[in-house]
Amino acid sequence: MTDRLKGTKAVITGGAGAIGMAVARAFLAEGAEVFVTDYDDATVAQAVDALRAESKPAFVNGAAADVTRVDAVSAMMEAAVDGMGGITALINNAGTNARGSLVDLSADEIDRVIDVNTKGVILCTQAVIPYLKGADDASITSTASQAGKRGWAQIAVYCASKAAVIGFSRAMAVELAPAIRVNSIAPGHIRDEGMAWDGFADRKRADQSLDDFSADFATAEIPLGRLQSAADIANGFVFLTSREASEITGDVLNIGGGVVMD
């Protein structure tokens, strides 16, 4: 790689999932130091071990944290600073979903989606700001979604939570300028770990392989005719965190093959 992120000290929430791991790998490959966090100790330990095995001798560490709790987020940021000597970039990637008609969702399901997807982004951003102020080329980039830009049935609360991430990121871009750049990324249908197929199973024929269904789905739904990978999304995070994006703030980068074009 090209050391595009040399000197970057990044905290990645949702760091043990498909996108989070892809972002961590891409950052490490570009010379960054990485601190990953996710919902439980075992998940984080497994992710850190895998990243260390792949990325020696780069610095990588992590800690479990509930991004919906102020005390947990604060402790996580302190642990990241202790490990890396500072923070220059935050990747808000923790997320969840609840699929179903709105009338069928429980209050607990609604709360969980809003708490993780929206409140978690807000709390992590709030906690990291004091550490980013004064950092060289500081940035915050959050995972939004194509669903935050258009409506999809059965995921209304998810759509709302991701639209909120976009609005919040734009507000923070104004509030934190010029010291900290703030952007978001709107992924499309991701093929890794079956993420694209949550809720689409009823459209797959019994005699159809997943690869064939994937190809048919992409041809029908995506202008570029292909699904995106977690690595595709990670490339966007690398770009928006790098100095190549030093003049970009308040923006939403679509990485969805043309599903949404605004």
Instruction: Please give the tally of structural domains in the chain.
Output: 1
User: Apex CA 118: angle with CA 108 and CA 171, to 5°?
Assistant: 155
Residue 179 lies in a domain: yes
Residue 221 lies in a domain: no
pTM of the model: 0.94
Confidence of residue 143 (pLDDT cuts 50, 70, 90): very high
| Catalytic sites, residue numbers | 158
Question: What's the pLDDT at 190?
Answer: 82
What is the Cα 162 distance to its own chain's centre?
A: 11
Residue 237 lies in a domain: yes
CATH number of the structural domain spanning residue 128: 3.40.50.720
Determine the structural domain holding residue 243 and report its residue range: 9-190+229-255
Hey, which residues does 10 pair with through a beta bridge?
34, 89
Residue 204 has what DSSP assignment? Answer: S
What does the pLDDT look like over 29-46, one tens digit per residue?
999 999 999 999 999 999
Residue 249 lies in a domain: yes
Taken in order 3, 53, 18, 170, is the CA torsion positive or negative? negative
Residue 214 lies in a domain: no
What is the distance between the alpha carbons of residues 213 and 203, in angstroms, rounded to a whole number? 9
Residue 28 lies in a domain: yes
What does the pLDDT look like over 186-201, one tens digit per residue?
998 887 655 555 556 6
